[in-house]
Structure 1
């Protein structure tokens, strides 16, 4: 008999969500998309109040699934840059739809026009 976990591990939606779940992953991807290439400290500043441990973990998970690319330069001080991979770029249409959805539904809550994002 197939249990709950086995059944849903075969589901494409379950698979996608298992990779992309997390409070910060979507906004991390959005900020990398907006900036094309971004350094760790830039992300840390943009995403305040994200904790160092959380940002590091989310980046590692996205990298392990080939969604983002991590480029480390051997210099002092150390320099690390992140960018979307070709696979990560396939998420851009989804990110854009999420942005538009948030923008439209935010209007219905009678908030200011300030989106808090550079895009759009």
Structure 2
């Protein structure tokens, strides 16, 4: 599991924000949570179909980290072929307003054009900031 940001940012203003974001760190965790919130319990294969470009290995890794954090629960049924369901714990369900607020913000302020993402200023839609550049800078 990646090192949570919360361990790196203890005891400063905004710490609860960073601590919360540390549970959501990961390229796919936000969208996994979104689908579990909007669809309820899902099987591994159903999640994989909803996240078309995710690899099986990455989905497994992200789900394990969410399970270790107490946000997702994994239920294995003793049948052949094996059946595994994923659902949100009460702690995970408490993230629903946060995830849905992120969805609403994205619908209002993010535009995808020619494979690039742009943040749009609410007061002036002509002012766009390419998000791809910001992502590249943080990855470097």
Quickly say closer, same or farther: Cα 1:6–1:72, change in 2 above 3 A.
Answer: closer
What do you get for the CA RMSD once the two structures are aligned?
A: 2.1
In the alignment, structure 1 residue 19 sits paired with structure 2 residue 23: yes
> Where has structure 1 moved over 4 Å in runs of 4 or more?
107-110
Q: Deviations over 1:33-90 (max 9, x none)?
A: 1111100000111101101111000000000111011110010000000111100011
* TM-score between both structures, scaled by the size of structure 1: 0.80
Say which structure is richer in strand.
2
Equivalent runs, 1:79-90 vs 2, <5 Å: 79-90=83-94
Structure 2: give runs of 5+ residues left out of the alignment.
1-5, 112-119, 127-140
Which is bigger in relative contact order (C-alpha 8 A, separation at least 6)?
1
In structure 2, distance between residues paired with 1:58 and 1:9: 24
Quickly say closer, same or farther: Cα 1:76–1:28, change in 2 above 3 A.
Answer: same
In structure 1, distance between residues paired with 2:85 and 2:7: 37
